[in-house]
């Protein structure tokens, strides 16, 4: 066939195949348009999972009458005017393809009004190459887009749609993703005339946390800590899950760059590296994170659906994310996992009854307390979602909890202080941590040892059970790491240098990253276009598989621009040493030793998990114990 130009209709349908994967893609594009227009309330009506009807209505400024027909043509937009605008995209949409693509495979009606008179204008297109006609229409201030009979003229595309429940699940997820970022906008989602999701605007921190609870569930909100770190022109904030709340699948992972949810390998790798020392085997963390940076430092125009981005300085972004999250995770202490019941009860209320506006401002959580230490960047701050609930009453009891439970803890406090004060074995540092009779540590005080494996302790919330070997293993491991890394990496020359054959690209990568390779304790020299010789390796890793280590390191450098391969090997060896150097099962500990272990856990980084990612302690509240024994019923 001779070369010819495609018709506008066929071009639009090809573009629709790129932009519109399913009904959820339509909802995403339309809601993003409403957000860009400055809407404060967005109503979404769905029938038959979007195949029959999708209607999105907002209260933004509306569209000018003369622009209505133009809005449905391809590559028509109000968000980009010249090439320079592409270097700093701030809006969610900008291509000007969405409405044209949607209208080519559906019956679309666009109505809009720019004033409060109730008079507006509408334009209709029915999936064919025809001139759009503008007609008067009654409409309040704002814009509504109605999409009917999706894929009615492309039956092959329609056959690829799943069942109604599956397709609506994708629509609901698309709305939730947008609602998790744009807290100042209200969302109302209905399916087949039934309200499914109703979210009022959230302005305060507590209201935002309630929205997260209603979207992601109360269990998630009970197991996350808030994080906020700023460095240069990068600002990272949001929530990350406790390592103990990991999932078997990569669910509840939301990452936004300048308001746009993305799936990016740089981001995924940085988060994975930050959690690598505390997650068990192939578990996945949960997080809702937002990264704001200069729009000129990120290219969002690399994928038709805009799910992928490209960072101008990917190495800098990766290091910032990794260091920030690694620092926050390291400083999660046992006390951070105690949460008041206020948010939990609220998160379990029906969506339509969410009392966001009625909540007094006095119930807002306290401001974040800056963390100790530094990232070498800016000072970070993190805190539990709510403050520690002290003196909670027992299940079914109306009496204040400052009577039986609190007196018992106070007695333990007095006994512990008396015990450590009278001891002359150098444990006075633990006594210094107890400042007055009202201070009860998060892990409380030991009351017994069970089968020589577990320590039973009592704190203000209830019962604490500690795996003493796992806990001591983490403490020993962290101390070994601190001691080893403070002395730097010691290299050892090989008696017989090792030759490794690589590709030309890998050899060039080694030459470009000689400083990085030297900091890892290795000395690699080029022997030819496709070979290198290993002359020095870290002394601690001299018995490792050197060739595999070199190849893996080069692979990391090619993929991410840096490598943590030797550090991982170091930590693996130190972890084994810590395991053998920790207290073993069936060893009887004195009360002083048990309490000393609890205090060390409270001061040690990542003490919630052992070196292998297993939990080191669990909390059973008084309410949970009461429910187990049906007290108060």
Give one DSSP letter per residue of 386-408, joined into a string: S----SPPPTT--S-TTTHHHHH
Examine the pLDDT at 375 and tell me if it is beyond 60.
no
Work out the average pLDDT over 468-478.
90
Examine the pLDDT at 464 and tell me if it is beyond 70.
yes
Q: Quick one: what percent of the chain has pLDDT higher than 90?
A: 41
List the structure tokens of 354: 């969410």
List the structure tokens of 531: 């070979």
CATH for 8-199 (1.20.58.1610, 3.30.565.10, 2.30.30.90, 3.40.50.1980): 3.30.565.10
Contact 601, 445 (CB under 8 A): no
In whole numbers, what is the pLDDT of the chain averaged over residues?
80
Taking only the tens place, the pLDDT of each residue in 123-179 is: 998 876 667 788 999 999 999 999 999 998 888 888 889 999 999 999 999 999 999
Contact 94, 81 (CB under 8 A): no
Taking only the tens place, the pLDDT of each residue in 441-455 is: 899 999 999 998 999
Work out the average pLDDT over 602-613.
88
Burial track 302-338 (b if 16+ CB lie within 10 A, e otherwise): eeeebeebebeebebbbbbbbbbbbbbbbbbbbebbb
Q: What is the pLDDT of residue 414?
A: 60
Specify the DSSP class assigned to residue 284.
B
Q: Give the separation between CA 534 and CA 542, rounded to whole angstroms.
A: 12
Examine the pLDDT at 121 and tell me if it is beyond 90.
yes
Work out the average pLDDT over 281-310.
85
Work out the average pLDDT over 590-615.
89
CATH for 205-357 (3.40.50.2300, 3.30.230.10, 3.40.30.10, 1.10.340.30): 3.30.230.10
Work out the average pLDDT over 241-253.
89
Flag the least confident range among 110-124, 208-222, 570-584: 570-584
The pLDDT-based confidence of 186 (bands split at 50, 70, 90) is very high
Q: Give the separation between CA 140 and CA 185, rounded to whole angstroms.
A: 18
Examine the pLDDT at 550 and tell me if it is beyond 50.
yes
Q: What is the pLDDT of residue 85?
A: 73
In sequence order, which residues have a C-beta less than 8 Å from that of residue 516 and are 6 or more positions away? 557, 562, 563
Examine the pLDDT at 312 and tell me if it is beyond 60.
yes
Kindly report the length of the chain: 633
Domain boundaries, the chain: 8-199, 205-357
- Model-level pTM? 0.74
The pLDDT-based confidence of 477 (bands split at 50, 70, 90) is confident
The pLDDT-based confidence of 300 (bands split at 50, 70, 90) is confident
In sequence order, which residues have a C-beta less than 8 Å from that of residue 374 and are 6 or more positions away? none
Q: Give the separation between CA 549 and CA 498, rounded to whole angstroms.
A: 12
Q: What is the pLDDT of residue 422?
A: 54
Return contacts of 45-49, CB within 8 angstroms, 24+ apart.
Answer: 45/190, 46/168, 46/171, 46/189, 46/190, 46/191, 46/192, 47/191, 47/192, 48/164, 48/192, 49/23, 49/161, 49/164, 49/165, 49/166, 49/167, 49/168, 49/171, 49/191
Q: Give the separation between CA 26 and CA 108, rounded to whole angstroms.
A: 11
């Amino acid at each position: 066939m001779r070369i010819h130009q495609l018709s506008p209709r066929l071009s639009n349908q090809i573009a629709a195949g790129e932009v519109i994967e399913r009904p959820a893609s339509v909802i995403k594009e339309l809601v993003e348009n409403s957000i860009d227009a400055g809407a404060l309330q967005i109503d979404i009506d769905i029938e038959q999972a979007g195949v029959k009807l999708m209607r999105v209505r907002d209260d933004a400024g509306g569209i000018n009458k003369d622009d209505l027909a133009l809005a449905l043509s391809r590559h028509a937009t109000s968000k980009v005017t010249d090439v320079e605008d592409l270097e700093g995209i701030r809006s969610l949409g900008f291509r000007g393809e969405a409405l044209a693509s949607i209208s080519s495979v559906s019956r679309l009606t666009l109505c809009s009004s720019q004033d409060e008179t109730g008079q507006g204008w509408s334009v209709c297109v029915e999936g064919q190459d025809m001139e759009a006609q503008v007609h008067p229409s009654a409409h309040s201030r704002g814009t509504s887009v109605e999409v009917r009979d999706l894929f009615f003229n492309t039956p092959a595309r329609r056959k690829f749609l799943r069942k109604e429940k599956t397709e609506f699940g994708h629509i609901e997820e698309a709305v939730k993703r947008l609602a998790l970022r744009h807290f100042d906008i209200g969302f109302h989602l209905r399916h087949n005339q039934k309200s499914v999701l109703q979210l009022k605007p959230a302005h305060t921190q507590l209201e935002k946390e309630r929205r997260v609870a209603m979207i992601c569930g109360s269990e998630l909100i009970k197991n996350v800590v808030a994080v906020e770190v700023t460095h240069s022109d990068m600002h990272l904030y949001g929530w990350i899950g406790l390592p103990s709340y990991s999932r078997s699948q990569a669910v509840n992972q939301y990452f936004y760059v300048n308001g746009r949810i993305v799936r990016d390998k740089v981001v995924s790798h940085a988060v994975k590296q930050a959690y690598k020392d505390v997650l068990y085997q192939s578990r996945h963390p949960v997080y809702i994170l937002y990264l704001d940076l200069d729009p000129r430092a990120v290219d969002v125009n690399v994928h038709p659906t805009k799910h992928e981005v490209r960072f101008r300085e990917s190495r800098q972004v990766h290091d910032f994310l990794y260091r920030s999250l690694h620092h926050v995770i390291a400083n999660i202490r046992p006390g951070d996992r105690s949460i008041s019941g206020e948010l939990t009860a609220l998160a379990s209320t029906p969506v339509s009854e969410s009392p966001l506006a009625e909540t007094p401002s006095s119930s807002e959580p306290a401001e974040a307390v800056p963390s100790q230490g530094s990232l070498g960047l800016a000072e970070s701050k993190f805190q539990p979602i709510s403050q520690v609930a002290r003196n909670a009453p027992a299940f079914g009891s109306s009496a204040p909890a400052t009577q039986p439970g609190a007196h018992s803890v106070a007695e333990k406090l007095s006994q512990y202080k008396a015990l450590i004060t009278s001891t002359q074995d150098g444990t006075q540092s633990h006594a210094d941590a107890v400042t007055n009779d009202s201070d009860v540590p998060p892990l409380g005080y030991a009351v017994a040892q069970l089968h020589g494996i577990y320590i039973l302790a009592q704190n203000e919330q209830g019962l604490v059970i500690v795996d003493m070997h796992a806990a001591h293993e983490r403490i020993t491991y962290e101390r070994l790491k601190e001691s080893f890394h403070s002395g730097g990496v010691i290299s050892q020359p090989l008696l017989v240098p090792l030759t490794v054959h690589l590709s030309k690209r890998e050899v060039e990568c080694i030459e470009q990253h000689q400083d990085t390779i030297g900091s890892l304790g290795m000395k690699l020299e080029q022997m030819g276009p496709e070979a290198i010789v290993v002359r020095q390796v870290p002394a601690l890793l001299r018995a490792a598989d050197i060739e595999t280590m070199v190849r893996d390191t080069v692979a990391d450098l090619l993929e991410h621009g840096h490598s943590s391969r030797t550090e991982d090997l170091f930590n693996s060896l130190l972890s084994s040493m810590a395991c053998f150097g920790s207290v073993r099962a069936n060893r009887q500990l004195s009360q002083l030793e048990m309490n000393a272990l609890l205090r060390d856990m409270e001061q040690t980084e990542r003490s919630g998990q052992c070196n292998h990612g297993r939990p080191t302690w669990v909390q059973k509240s008084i309410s949970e114990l009461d429910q187990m024994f049906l007290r108060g019923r």
